[in-house]
Amino acid sequence: MAEAWEVRKNDGVARVKSIFIYPIKSCKPISVQHASISPTGFVWDRHWMVINSKGRGCTQRVEPRLALIQVDLPLEAFSPAWQPNHSSYLVVRAPGMPELKVSLAKPSLLSQGVSVWEWSGSALDEGHEAAQWFTDFLGKPSRLVRFNEESETRPTDPAYATGFNVKFTDAFQFLLISQASLDAVNEQLEEPVNINRFRPNIFVDGCESFAEDLWKQIIINESKFDGVMLCPRCKVPSINQEDATQGNEPTATMMKFRSAKVLKVDTTTTQYKGRVYLGQMLVCEDDSNSWGKIISVGDVIHVEKVFPSYADVAV
């Protein structure tokens, strides 16, 4: 891979437009004005996951109705150094279901043999009431588990980023997409789609379309983020996040201009042949003691390094 070259763009054009946190993997996000950075990504992001009877993590790929589940956390939960108490809850809602309140206090139950992608381990189990709620809504045996930070770690793929950890996210700590890139996709579609189809953590505005594809290193509020991989899109963008129905778009249209073949990225050693790409996946370095620092809507994106071409970008 060619050496990234440095470029400075401190003119304040590109800024954070929205921040999304997904407390339960594959369920609806919470849009926040600011978020704290932890060693595994934003605090509360993919902190919980629904598992099936075999302990395997459930996603919209096989359970599209997860898209209908809305979650809420106390507003103060997004403040630095906030600690939950016994009156703090994760609140879960879905059409036709009673409200579920899950205490943020550490549960006493453990689920063994929990797995997501290549990782397996133990997880904190949120108990019978939560399990029954998700079982009733999805129509099959399900449980809600919480990542067990005290005893488990889940490293990122060392082929792309060494020395970083995540919780229940698919691969890396953050996903960044720009408004201009979404606009460019929507210009090709008969029916435009919302950014919620692509599930970013950091949604930015003020850059050119697909500029983020080549961002090798950016700084936001003194925290340094490394771009490690273009995001290969699965079937989730084809799922309507309002009614959980699935179609062919936007993936079918994106194959015409966002496939590996069109972008001329090297897929000879990757499992993602035949995918379309949108967004840059990031990890956060702790060079400046980033843990606990805040990223806020309106923050400037300082692009420090870029890749010369798509041929140099990891996929």
Express each pLDDT in 102-137 by its tens digit. 999 999 999 999 999 999 999 999 999 999 999 999
pLDDT of residue 9: 42
The whole-angstrom separation of Cα 284 and Cα 293 is: 11
DSSP string, 64-112: GGGGG-EEE--GGGGSTT----TT-EEEEE-TTS--EEEESSPPSEEEE
User: What are the residue boundaries of the structural domains of the chain, listed by start?
Assistant: 5-20+157-312, 21-147
- pLDDT exceeds cutoff 80 at 220: yes
- Residue 126, token pair as written in the block: 């949120």
pLDDT of residue 289: 75
Q: Which residues pair with 233 in a beta bridge?
A: 276
What average pLDDT does the structure give for the chain? Answer: 93
Peptide bond into 250 cis (omega under 30): yes
The whole-angstrom separation of Cα 133 and Cα 143 is: 9
Neighbours of 69 (CB within 10 A): 23
pLDDT of residue 189: 98
pLDDT band at 79 (very low <50, low <70, confident <90, very high): confident
> Which has the closest alpha carbon to 147: 122, 128, 130, 184?
122
Indicate the residue type of 224. Answer: K
pLDDT of residue 311: 85
pLDDT of residue 274: 81
> Which has the closest alpha carbon to 55: 188, 144, 167, 164?
144
The whole-angstrom separation of Cα 37 and Cα 259 is: 32
Please give the model's pTM, rounded to 2 decimal places: 0.94
- Residue 43, token pair as written in the block: 């605090």
For 241-272, the pLDDT digits (tens) are: 999 999 999 999 999 999 988 998 876 656 77
pLDDT of residue 7: 40
Q: Each residue of 193-214: b (16+ CB within 10 Å) or e?
A: bebbbbbbbbbbbbbeebbbbb
SS3 240: coil
User: Taking residues 138-161, what's their average pLDDT?
Assistant: 96
Neighbours of 5 (CB within 10 A): 11
pLDDT of residue 10: 41
- pLDDT exceeds cutoff 50 at 1: no
SS3 167: coil
**Taking a C-beta distance cutoff of 8 angstroms, is the pair 263, 272 a contact?**
no
Which class in CATH covers the domain with range 5-20+157-312?
A: mainly beta
> Which has the closest alpha carbon to 224: 58, 37, 43, 14?
37
- Residue 78, token pair as written in the block: 């997004």
- Pairing type for strands 15-21 and 119-125 reads unpaired
The whole-angstrom separation of Cα 302 and Cα 221 is: 9
User: Taking residues 208-229, what's their average pLDDT?
Assistant: 96
Please give the radius of gyration of the chain, using alpha carbons only, rounded to the nearest integer: 19
